[in-house]
Chains A and B, each alone.
Chain A
């Protein structure tokens, strides 16, 4: 590509975000950092989905991965790590960086709002949500229902696996006799 288009900048920016954060996930020594870097990877992937024209999947990615799986992962990190393993310290950069950055950001946003010629006529959007929806309820109805059953089984299975002892038994007896 001879000229640098805005689309190329966005695409390669998202690529750098995804690959950089993924490398952090795979190599980071701190498991909490890995979990938060996974957030960057998943958000970048969602951006790429939008970029590729799959807007439904992009939103589903954010809803399911960032809203569900990542929160579950963070719970698991905090439940399973020994307190010494995760350093929860949050070194703040302090006011001397935060205030100028905030003022700069606010000024930039105000400038952007008042100088941009906002298009007041509605552009005709080309939604990609309808066709997958029709496919789910038509050609792939059986698969769709199967996915529901799989999710239900996963839900019940996760509850059974992660539950504490059955009432009236000691925790050791319950974890030893999980087959009951």
Chain B
């Protein structure tokens, strides 16, 4: 498959992820949409890595996956803590840092 197709798909995925981040108010869905964005970035990295014959894209994609795992762990811990103190994870209701 031509690299351009992978880039189209990556764009579509990133667009959907961005729409999810901007439109949804549930913090969990926002986190999932961020994962979509990271996946889109990985796809583009790998597509370019293949078309350029360069291994760096693989290495960076691996680090992106590792950082996504860290982000998910910390983000979900924050969400659970937030829910424990406020009984909601709606981002519009969690506008201040104080309870």
The residues of A with any CB-CB pair to B shorter than 8 Å are 7-8, 11, 15, 18-19, 22-23, 25-27, 31, 34-35, 38, 41-42, 45, 48-49, 51-54, 56-57, 60-61, 64-65, 68-69, 72-73, 75-77, 79-80, 128, 131-132, 135-136, 140, 143, 147, 150-151, 153-155, 157-162, 175-176
Task: Determine whether the beta carbon of B43 is less than 8 Å from that of A34.
Answer: no
Q: Is the interface of A mostly helix, strand, loop or mixed?
A: helix
Interface size on B, residues (CB 8 A): 54
Interface centre among A53, A54, A136 (most CB of B within 10 A): A54
Task: Determine whether the beta carbon of B36 is less than 8 Å from that of A72.
Answer: no
* Chain A residues near B77 (CB-CB < 8 A): 157-162
* Chain A residues near B55 (CB-CB < 8 A): 131-132, 135
* Chain A residues near B39 (CB-CB < 8 A): 41-42, 45
Task: Determine whether the beta carbon of B80 is less than 8 Å from that of A162.
Answer: yes
Report the separation of the CA atoms of residues A60 and B31 in the bound assembly, to the nearest whole angstrom.
20
CB distance from B42 to the nearest CB of A (A): 7
The count of A-to-B residue pairs whose CB atoms sit within 8 angstroms is: 169
Asked, given contacts A60-B65, A68-B69, whether A52 binds B35 with beta carbons under 8 Å apart, the answer is: no
Asked, given contacts A18-B13, A57-B62, whether A64 binds B69 with beta carbons under 8 Å apart, the answer is: yes
Binary flags per residue of B72-95, CB closer than 8 Å to A gives 1, else 0: 111011111101110001000000
Interface centre among B31, B32, B77, B85 (most CB of A within 10 A): B32
Enumerate B22-72 residues with CB–CB distance to A below 8 Å.
23-24, 26, 28-29, 31-33, 35-36, 39, 42-43, 46-47, 49-50, 55, 58-59, 61-63, 65-72
Report the separation of the CA atoms of residues A80 and B31 in the bound assembly, to the nearest whole angstrom.
14
* Chain A residues near B63 (CB-CB < 8 A): 143, 147
Asked, given contacts A31-B29, A132-B58, A147-B66, whether A76 binds B73 with beta carbons under 8 Å apart, the answer is: no
Q: Is the interface of B mostly helix, strand, loop or mixed?
A: helix
Partner among A56, A65, A158 whose Cβ is within 8 Å of the Cβ of B58: A56
Report the separation of the CA atoms of residues A64 and B49 in the bound assembly, to the nearest whole angstrom.
21
Task: Determine whether the beta carbon of A54 is less than 8 Å from that of B68.
Answer: no
CB distance from B74 to the nearest CB of A (A): 5
Asked, given contacts A131-B55, A154-B74, whether A22 binds B69 with beta carbons under 8 Å apart, the answer is: no
